Amino acid sequence: MAHALDAATGAIYDIGYRNYEGSRLGRGYAFRTLYVHSLRSVFGLGRGGRALIIPWALFAAMAFPAVVTVAVAGISGGMIKNSIDYHEIYVWDSMMLALFCAAQAPELVSRDHYNRVLPLYFSRALRKADYAAAKLLAMWTAVFLVIMTPLLVILVGRLGLPSDFAAAFREESRHFTAILGTPAVCALVFGTLAVALASYVPRRGIASAAVLGTFLLTAPLVAILMETLEARWSVLLNPILVGNGAIWELFDERHERGSILRQAELPAEAYFGAVAAYAVVFTILLLNRYRRISA
């Protein structure tokens, strides 16, 4: 019996581990750090040269019409107002924005699923809802920036080219709310949908196809429903058309709507309500996706 007790006897060795005595920055710091990291990831920053190509090429393509318009107006001494209007930026950029979201949303969420690093995030102060919110906020910010940039280019051109700055400012000030509202609409519709759908697909390529397919395939579906069933409310199934209707309402340009929107003849409340519905529904789907993940 004594021999058995001696065999079970062990020894404790001090191998140099010490308790952490520094400051614990907590949940808020973790959220801000993840948000900044995610925003950088959307634009490919800090991930090598190849990661920069797609986001910055699409960003340049979205800003190109506005930059060229202002440059030509400045060189020729003409008026930028006669060339391109604020609400037309969305018509130029909506497909590019869909490609941007389809390419970059999986960079935010699919990669973490595929590499199985989510338990590492959730093992510390960061909560599951915090992770989802940081990713969504980063995508909203990115979409807001890429759409706001061409609008600001046009605004600067309209304010800087005329000889009477005060008169130009008074003229353009009536568009300030709509200029801010346009990228907000795009962020709520495009950004929320893209991140939510990508969060359900671990493989980046399949996630991109799912997001882009939602933007593209709902368009012919709307056309079919409009032609066969005269279901004018079906235009709200396509996120691009929802953004189009809301933005043109912001700028009070109903008469210049596309043919399918003119055919639908929906009130402004329908488009703004659809924007809110897209934001709420897909945010709930995103939060529910991470709520079901075991830490």
- 5 in a structural domain: no
Instruction: State pLDDT tens for residues 257-289.
Output: 667 887 778 888 999 999 999 999 999 999 999
CA atoms of 12 and 265, how far apart (whole Å)? 79
Task: Work out the average pLDDT over 229-234.
Answer: 84
- 11 in a structural domain: no
CA distances from 6 to 11, 12, 27 (A): 12, 15, 48
Looking at residue 98, its pLDDT comes to 96
- 254 in a structural domain: yes
For 100, the domain range is 22-291
Instruction: State pLDDT tens for residues 87-105.
Output: 888 988 999 999 999 999 9
Based on the structure, what is the number of domains in the chain? Answer: 1
End-to-end distance of the chain based on CA atoms, in angstroms?
45
- pLDDT tops 80 at residue 6: no
Looking at residue 273, its pLDDT comes to 96
- 1 in a structural domain: no
- 10 in a structural domain: no
pTM: 0.87
CA 194 to chain centroid, in Å, comes to 7
- 179 in a structural domain: yes
Task: Work out the average pLDDT over 11-20.
Answer: 67
- 6 in a structural domain: no
- 228 in a structural domain: yes
* Three-point CA angle 227, 93, 283, nearest 5°: 80
Looking at residue 13, its pLDDT comes to 66
